[in-house]
Chains A and B, each alone.
Chain A
């Protein structure tokens, strides 16, 4: 289908006699076509659907267990405060289930899913022997890499929205909705609460771009999809453990996962931006470093398979 689109649109470079290089100039829409086919391929994989299914199940599990726990004798109890952030507020307002679910999935489930998709991006194609066919198309390696990374980022956003959407649905079914009490004790309207929930989902998705770039770089290093996924998820676990060791506190601000839970600062009133901005800067740095490293590796690599 994209082939037909491409030929139907007149290429502005071709009729121009002054064009220096009229032969190899792919239409800009080619990139979109490439991206579209990448997205469709990724999202139609059973593996991807299973990952999304697991992510959607987490809020259901959390919601039902909170409901059962608190249906008997009033809220909380003395041990309130254990478990993921915000869990004790879920009974006040179902919207908090969105925050709880994201806080519960962000440390591991979400980045693991992203690591699987990112690690598979290049290495999986190489493994299946389809990478050279992709490169036969006149898209160029840089474009292919960009399309792969864009697909991974789209998956970050989709995975986050799946968690948030599932949590919102479960929260609305099991718990009351309405005006929201922020963790600072002030009240905001439900609409503003929804807006903040959306903002949080975007921030969480942005928090995953760092590990997505890291996974893509690892993926260009090897021809085995499994090895790339395992390395990425292994790196994630290692960094998460190192982030807990107090003796390493000088290094910890540079770990990609260090500021992940700062999205909770969006539920303060007024919002505490310090760590949020740090988080976004850090993710941008990881994207720049590992994105360019992936580019350097992929554009100079010998594609044997």
Chain B
């Protein structure tokens, strides 16, 4: 650019024109980065939309045929990645939850962070990525991917290994007899689907609702809806692989709307035989190995089973959870989706609630603040609610739990 203005007017005009042209030429260069950004934004926005657009064209099938297909499906070899998100609407307790968890684990005798119980309970909240691999009934592996670390649970023949790479700890138990129970992992869409389909009865409507693409495979969508009102379960949708009948995706939406409470689906799946080395495990040098001894082993497997059941229970309320409770000697009111489990904690004035006197101190205030006080013919109580499970704790120590709304709980308490 000319550093000094000339006095000559025509020259100035010319110089101005040149300068303007120059500036335009310069400005056009900035089009390149802007264009790159635009293309990137368009790609990010459009590619998922384009990928979603084509629902596969599959032959029509009835709901009953599809359920039979799931039941008959005999997939022995599978490997894949599962993404599981749970949003129960619980407050995020973060570290507190962990310390409670480790306390519980210590109480149970397993002082290892590689203990499966503690690890699998982590799935109850947040989003997790899991890897699953299976080769027949004798070899299974589930890995929970964490940032820079991984927790693996490997079942190979009679051995069950838990390896937590973050703390470098190993949990080992020999599961000669309880093996069949142990390999059942509560995390895959199939596990959730099995639980739900077990309890399909006249209180439930089941239909096939079109098709979908899951993990690059064509699938039917099976939608299960409770016919009764009063339950917090809105709908359950299961995507079933058209070829193998394997459930690929499980979604549970609450009746209150909003995000799914449980959403577990394969993001990648293969029905080829996984490499044999996947299931080999030798504790690395220097790792701390915790042996589940004989007594602890059954305890361990039971605890594992429990965590599985409770995981499923939270996914399929009104079915799994109350039934299990009933097994343990609790009463179940109602049927189908509106089942309510009743526990008697036995202690009058049992759980301190907000309405209890100030003597109970800060804790009661804290608990009370989490719940809503209610009253009815039964007396007074507090309702603790999540997006799926609600619980009513009365002042005389009775606990009503179910996947039903608040009004249904109060009604049950009034009747009982």
Contact = CB atoms under 8 A, between A and B. Distances in A.
B51 to A, nearest CB: 15
A285 interface: yes
B167 A80 contact: yes
B285 A92 contact: yes
A289 B29 contact: no
A103 B147 CA distance: 11
A238 interface: no
Given A184-B152, A185-B281, A295 B32 contact: yes
B113 A92 contact: no
Contact of B143 (A88, A184, A285, A302): A184
B110 to A, nearest CB: 13
Given A186-B280, A186-B281, A296 B36 contact: no
Contacts of B129: 272
Interface in B268-301: 275, 277-278, 280-282, 284-288
B284 A92 contact: yes
Interface string B282-325: 10111110000000000000000000000000000000000000
Contacts of B278: 186, 269-270
Given A181-B284, A185-B161, A272-B145, A76 B169 contact: yes
B168 interface: yes
A184 B150 contact: yes
B147 A299 contact: no
Contact of A289 (B37, B148, B267, B275): B37
A188 to B, nearest CB: 9
Interface in A69-86: 74-76, 78, 80-81, 84-86
A261 B113 CA distance: 23
A262 B280 CA distance: 25
Contact of B167 (A84, A88, A296): A88
Interface string A229-244: 0000000000000000
A118 B287 CA distance: 42
A268 interface: yes
Contacts of A91: 168, 285-286
B149 interface: yes
B29 A295 contact: yes
A81 B285 contact: no
A292 interface: yes
A92 B36 CA distance: 46
A290 B30 CA distance: 11
Contact of B147 (A264, A285, A293): A264
B149 A183 contact: yes
Given A183-B149, A272-B145, A300 B163 contact: no
A89 interface: yes
B40 A285 contact: yes
Interface string A91-123: 111000000000100000000000000000000
B33 A296 contact: yes
Contacts of B30: 293, 296-297
B166 interface: yes
A300 B145 contact: no
A183 B167 CA distance: 11
Contacts of A88: 165-168
A299 B166 CA distance: 50
A93 B168 CA distance: 12
A269 B143 CA distance: 11
B26 interface: yes
Contacts of A130: none
B401 interface: no
Interface in B15-64: 25-26, 29-30, 32-33, 36-37, 40
Contacts of A300: 25-26, 29
B13 interface: no
A78 B147 CA distance: 19
A137 interface: no
A32 interface: no
B154 interface: yes
B415 interface: no
B176 interface: no
A264 B146 CA distance: 10
A187 interface: yes
B42 to A, nearest CB: 12
A81 B166 contact: yes
Contacts of B37: 289
Interface in A39-82: 74-76, 78, 80-81
Contacts of B40: 285, 288-289
A129 interface: no
A103 B165 CA distance: 15
Nearest first, the 6 A-B pairs at minimum CB distance are A85-B148, A80-B167, A183-B165, A296-B29, A181-B284, A300-B26
Interface of B: 1, 25-26, 29-30, 32-33, 36-37, 40, 81, 113, 129, 131, 143, 145, 147-150, 152, 154, 161, 163, 165-169, 267, 275, 277-278, 280-282, 284-288
7 contacts: A80-B166, A91-B168, A185-B143, A185-B154, A261-B147, A274-B267, A289-B36
